[in-house]
Amino acid sequence: MLWIKAFHIVFVASWFAGLFYLPRIFVNLAMVPPESVAERERLLLMARKLLRFTTILALPALLLGLWLWLGYGIGRGPGNGWMHAKLAVVVLVIGYHHACGRLLKKFESGRNTRSHVWMRWFNEVPVLLLVVAVVLVVVKPF
C-alpha cells in the first residue's frame, strides 16, 4: 500500500504542477497584443502541450487514489467525513482541469473575453484546492 500511496502523491503533485503553470500561460496569452502572432502561437503551443501532459498525469493520480480508496478502504467507515470532503475537492480539481481545456479552446479560436487580471485570479484556484485537500488528508478534521 505504501508504494501506491507514494506514486499517488507523485502523480498528484505533478498534475498540480501543470495546473499551476497552465493558467499562468493563459495570463500571458491574455496580455499578447493582436499583432504579436508569433508570440501568441508559441504560447498556444506551450499551453496545448502542457494540457496534454497534465491530463496524462491526472489519470494515474486518479486511478491510484481510487485504488487506495476502494482497494485498501482508506477513508471508508464511520469517522471518515474528511474523505467525503476530499472527494468533493477532487471533483472540483477535475472541473478546474476541464475549465482549463475550455479556456484553451477559446484562446485557440480567438474567442477569449477574459482579462489577464481575471486569469490571475483563476490561477490561484488550484493552490486553494491543494491546500484544502492536504489539510483534509493530513489533519482529518471530521
Q: Are 27 and 119 in contact (CB under 8 A)?
A: yes
pLDDT band with cut points at 50, 70 and 90 for residue 72? confident
- How do residues 83-134 score in pLDDT, each as one tens digit? 999 999 999 999 999 999 999 999 999 999 999 999 999 999 999 999 999 9
pLDDT band with cut points at 50, 70 and 90 for residue 50? very high
Prediction pTM value: 0.94
CA distance 140 to 121: 28
CA distance 103 to 81: 33
Name the residue among 31, 93, 101, 85 with its Cα closest to residue 61.
93
Q: Are 16 and 130 in contact (CB under 8 A)?
A: yes
